[in-house]
Amino acid sequence: MKRMTRSDWKAYVQQWKTTGAELNRIRQKEVCGWKYDWRVVDALLDMGARFKDVRPTSGLVELQRWFMKLAEQQGGLPARSSVKESSASYCAEDRVVKPMRRHDKAGHRKRP
């Protein structure tokens, strides 16, 4: 694959600016064309009432668990019993993790 030049990137960005504006125009046109339907509004309010409780997690871990199970079933991963991992913690308590410094002592942002 060819590396994009600076002018390629500028054209790419300009294309997305134009495309984004057009997609926004289409979306606005569709939203303005919607007819009010009390049944849809009632269904949305009912969903809000049913699921109003704050959940302790987003469900991402459970989703990843389902993906791993599916990958195992499809042969994409070895079965769990064949994976050899030590039971040691990934982040031992004696290990100190220092945050990355993004600024120098004078407060100027470092370049990556």
**17, part of any domain:** yes
Q: How confident is the model at residue 80 (pLDDT cuts 50, 70, 90)?
A: low
Can you give the pLDDT at residue 75? 83
- Rounded to whole angstroms, the Cα distance separating 7 from 15 reads 12
Lowest mean pLDDT among 47-51, 54-58, 73-77, 85-89: 85-89
Q: What is residue 58's three-state secondary structure? A: coil
pTM above 0.75, yes or no: no
**34, part of any domain:** yes
Dihedral in degrees, nearest 10, Cα atoms 31, 42, 57, 64: -60
Can you give the pLDDT at residue 50? 86
- Domain total in the chain: 1
Question: Which DSSP category does 106 fall into?
Answer: T
pLDDT digits (tens, 9 = 90+) for 26-63: 999 998 988 899 999 999 999 988 887 877 788 898 89
The residue segments making up the domain with residue 29 are 1-52
**80, part of any domain:** no
Concatenated DSSP letters of 66-100? HHHHHHHHTTSS--GGG-----S-SS-TTPPPPPP
**84, part of any domain:** no
**105, part of any domain:** no
Is the pLDDT confidence value at 10 over 90?
Answer: yes
Query: What's the average model confidence in pLDDT over 11-27?
Result: 95
**15, part of any domain:** yes
